[in-house]
A = this chain, B = another copy of it.
Amino acid sequence: MIVKQNLYSVKIATYNGRMARLSKENKATRPAQTPKRRVARAATVRPAPRRRTNDTPYHHGDLHEALLKAAERVLERDGLAGLTLRAVAREAGVSHAAPTHHFGDLTGLLSELAAIGFRQFGQAMAAADASAATPPEKGVASAKAYVAYAQAHPGMYGLMFRSERLDHARPSLHEASEASFAGLTRGVGASRHEEISKEQLTLDQAAAIASAWSLVHGFTMLLLDGRLKTILDRAPEGTSAETLLTAMLGRSASKQPRP
């Protein structure tokens, strides 16, 4: 932390003109420029301002995408608490206000990043579903993939389900989140050996879906928060989170639809 602050101080100290960033990456894409402003078109070097002619619009070349990638790196490196607008801008090598023009505010950036997470998340669960043969196996595999994704990407999972600064009304986030939810619904329907309508649910179907989601989501949250240690410590020797989850799923599996 102190190192970080010192680094930042150095950056500030050497940041008199412009283009004196510290980020080792993302610098080759923009040429160095003289600090002087109003020399107009004099004989300054001006090294070929990257004419791309196509699909990479203006100054930076898709800063929108670069910011999202930077945000993902920051999230994995520094966690949810370190995921700030200014940190992302630093990581991308632009001024701290640049993200504003692409995402509006912090909520915008976080929501777009969470949408990416939901897409990854949905794909992981779909892959697990496809890799299993029978419906009950598919359900167990999907549930394990759910927890595995959260364990592999705790920062992203926290952003998706813990952050209070998401705007679920944003189309991209809403769509991605609904898609992963639809996968869950489909899995529950398959394990019940019935088709589940998109518009109407019976109470028992709704309860089955909500139970599956609540169980796996609650388990994941408690696990990531370290709150299951109390249980794991008292379980038989060598009980891991996965064996516990397997036992839990065994208890609640093979629920048939009720009349």
Contacts and interface: CB of A to CB of B under 8 A. Distances in A.
Nearest to A201: B234
A211 B161 contact: no
B230 A222 contact: no
Residue among A168, A213, A214, A258 with max Cβ neighbours from chain B (10 Å): A214
Q: List the 7 closest A-B pairs by CB distance, nearest first.
A: A218-B218, A214-B218, A207-B247, A217-B218, A214-B219, A206-B235, A201-B234
Interface string A212-234: 01111111011001101011101
A209 B231 contact: yes
Interface stretch (A22-30, A56-64, A93-101, A236-244): A236-244
A133 interface: no
Contacts of A252: 211, 252
Contacts of A2: none
Instruction: State how many copies of this chain the complex holds.
Output: 2
A203 interface: yes
A203 B234 contact: no
Given A218-B218, A218-B219, A228 B210 contact: yes
Given A81-B164, A168-B226, A231-B209, A247 B215 contact: no
6 contacts: A178-B230, A207-B247, A214-B248, A215-B218, A218-B218, A252-B252
